[in-house]
Chains A and B, each alone.
Chain A
Amino acid sequence: MFAYCTDPASLDGLAWLACYLTTGKHMAFYASFGTVMLLLAITAPTALLFGFGGAVAARARFLPLRMLGKTYIAIVRSVPDIAFFLFFVIALDQGLEYLRLLALCPDWDQPVRQGNDFVVCSAAKLPSNSAPQWVHEVYGFLLAMFTFAIVFGAFAANVLFGAMMAVPRAQIETAEAYGMTRAQTFRRILVPQMWVYALPGLSNLWMVLVKATPLLFLLGVEDIVYWARELGGSVTPRFSDYPHGDWRVWYFLALLVFYLLLTRVSEIVLERLMKRLTFGQATTGGMAA
């Protein structure tokens, strides 16, 4: 980074630190904060969408849809995250590759499953083997995002399901008395009023999601915890120009500060949101008489 960094062994104090903190490895560490924030920014709304869909399905009058919603909520919530991340993602990836095999290699005659192996023609590989590494990383990231959304969507569905049940029956009855249809009641009365009951549960989920990103490395996506562990681990002079002992505690302290800040900001935003959503509602939070 800096010109004087060519011989780090001769440096000490701040100059050494400046060089140390700007190595390629550290740059990757800083970039991983962006990866994590991006993942959160995309996953949270997607998960909420899945959750909303799941909750609506779970209270549908049409039996198969209701079964689907309930099954989604029950199954995904009961499978451990780490198992879900290992198996679901691999299954998803193989499913996509299988579809591509059917589309792109019509004269493929070998079985797709050969013992433990999953084999498709090279054109069906996703991403292609020859694609640059960043394509593989973006693909892994998308898979991760989708998986996070499904997992957290199931929890969100349960929270929203409960919240919809918590809206006072009298409100719904009044809407019916006004002659609103079921859809109108849902749209105009139920959904606007349920958020106050859903928000505490959803904010819990958000906090758990924030800290769930180390699961990313199971998919080869390097997150902040991976880099903190990698950078903090002791290195001997043979393998690095910047040998040091076990510094993991410092890196994890930095992560601690990052997580605390993120939590604090989240709390402030959620509090404001709560105020807004409960405005005029007959709850202690809404302070309507």
Chain B
Amino acid sequence: MKTILTATAALALGTGMAFAAEHSETVRLGTEGAYAPYNFLDDNGEVAGFERQLGDELCARAELTCEWVTNDWDSIIPNLVSGNYDAIMAGMSITDERDEVIDFSDPYTQPDPSVYVSTMDDVDVENAVVAAQSGTIQAGHVASMEGATLVEFATPEETVAAVRNGEADAVLADKAFLMPIVENESELSVVGDDVLLGGGIGMGFRESDGELREKFNAAIQSMKDDGSLNALIEEWLPDGATF
């Protein structure tokens, strides 16, 4: 075991020496890759979607080289603070709880409305079994409702599947995620009004990484100023409010 450890350490040091020669730092962007239209994997297995285009444009404006990384939603914050990537861009709404652990950029979407989707038109969501992805603002919202029972799932896809197969009466998720699904499936429909949660979607950074955050904030601001952010929002999030 000792030799294995020493060997690993030697290898680790060795590879580092080789790469230390390169100077321009790549910024690694962590995403989930399972939340269309914000981020998803296209047919080639590449990260695509609203955040892919936005992120690439932001990196170009901030003159940074960026690399996309997919990571499980549940471990997306621990891996950021531990330094496995430098920013989160995963449809993550700005909330106070998250803000205690990481720092957010300025929002790049308006507070996004969430909706309930169900197979029944007359479901009373206040007293129903509601599916949501664990660790999301929607899950937090359902948990705080007195009559409703929360069923949590690890991925967004599973929350919708739970409604299809009757495990849950309704699903609560971002409108932009649910609408393309509802449009495509006649059994599913939106129930009730929009629910406004969170403070918009922003990029997540380590609290110690103020410099990188400022760079991206400036890039986001420049895209807000010249209207290119609004164009992207209109392209990818048809129901989303613009700036």
**A118 vs chain B, min Cβ distance (A):** 5
Residues of A234-258 whose CB lies within 8 A of B: 234-243, 245-246, 248
Q: Interface residues of A toward B: which range?
A: 35 or more
A122 interface residue (CB < 8 Å to B): yes
A130 interface residue (CB < 8 Å to B): yes
B126 interface residue (CB < 8 Å to A): no
Q: Are A123 and B16 in contact (CB under 8 A)?
A: yes
Residue of A24, A142, A235, A243 near B46 (CB, 8 A) is A24
Residue of A nearest to B67 (CB): A133
- Give A113 to B208 CA distance when docked, in angstroms: 10
- State whether A24 and B67 are in contact (beta carbons under 8 Å apart), knowing that A119-B206, A130-B24 are contacts in the complex: no
Residue of A86, A100, A220, A230 near B41 (CB, 8 A) is A230
Residue of B nearest to A137 (CB): B69
Q: Are B9 and A99 in contact (CB under 8 A)?
A: yes
Residue of A nearest to B157 (CB): A233
Q: Are A239 and B42 in contact (CB under 8 A)?
A: yes
Residues of B within 8 A of A243 (CB): 184
Residues of A within 8 A of B70 (CB): 220, 222
Residues of B69-96 whose CB lies within 8 A of A: 69-72, 74-75, 78-79, 81-84, 86
Among the 9-residue stretches A90-98, A184-192, A204-212, the one with 4 or more Cβ atoms under 8 Å from chain B is: A90-98
Residues of A within 8 A of B206 (CB): 116-117, 119
B164 interface residue (CB < 8 Å to A): yes
Residue of A128, A142, A220 near B20 (CB, 8 A) is A128
**A106 vs chain B, min Cβ distance (A):** 14
- Give A117 to B79 CA distance when docked, in angstroms: 10
- Give A230 to B39 CA distance when docked, in angstroms: 13
- State whether A128 and B16 are in contact (beta carbons under 8 Å apart), knowing that A27-B45, A229-B157 are contacts in the complex: yes
Q: Are B16 and A129 in contact (CB under 8 A)?
A: no
- Give A97 to B67 CA distance when docked, in angstroms: 21
A288 interface residue (CB < 8 Å to B): no
- State whether A246 and B83 are in contact (beta carbons under 8 Å apart), knowing that A130-B24, A234-B181 are contacts in the complex: no
Q: Are A129 and B28 in contact (CB under 8 A)?
A: yes
Q: Are B72 and A217 in contact (CB under 8 A)?
A: yes
**A170 vs chain B, min Cβ distance (A):** 33
Residues of A within 8 A of B45 (CB): 23-25, 27-28
Residue of A nearest to B33 (CB): A230
A78 interface residue (CB < 8 Å to B): no
Residue of A23, A25, A104 near B16 (CB, 8 A) is A104
Residue of B19, B72, B160 near A127 (CB, 8 A) is B19
Q: Are B43 and A24 in contact (CB under 8 A)?
A: yes
**A13 vs chain B, min Cβ distance (A):** 19
Q: Are A236 and B184 in contact (CB under 8 A)?
A: yes
- State whether A100 and B157 are in contact (beta carbons under 8 Å apart), knowing that A86-B78, A90-B79 are contacts in the complex: no
Residue of B12, B27, B46, B82 near A100 (CB, 8 A) is B12
Q: Are A239 and B36 in contact (CB under 8 A)?
A: yes
- State whether A90 and B82 are in contact (beta carbons under 8 Å apart), knowing that A130-B19, A238-B180 are contacts in the complex: yes
B124 interface residue (CB < 8 Å to A): no
Could you jot down 6 A-B contacts, CB within 8 Å? A25-B44, A104-B16, A218-B75, A234-B157, A239-B180, A248-B161
Residues of A bordering B, CB below 8 Å:
23-25, 27-28, 50, 53, 86, 90, 93-94, 96-97, 99-100, 103-104, 114-120, 122-131, 133, 135-136, 142, 146, 217-218, 220, 222, 229-230, 233-243, 245-246, 248
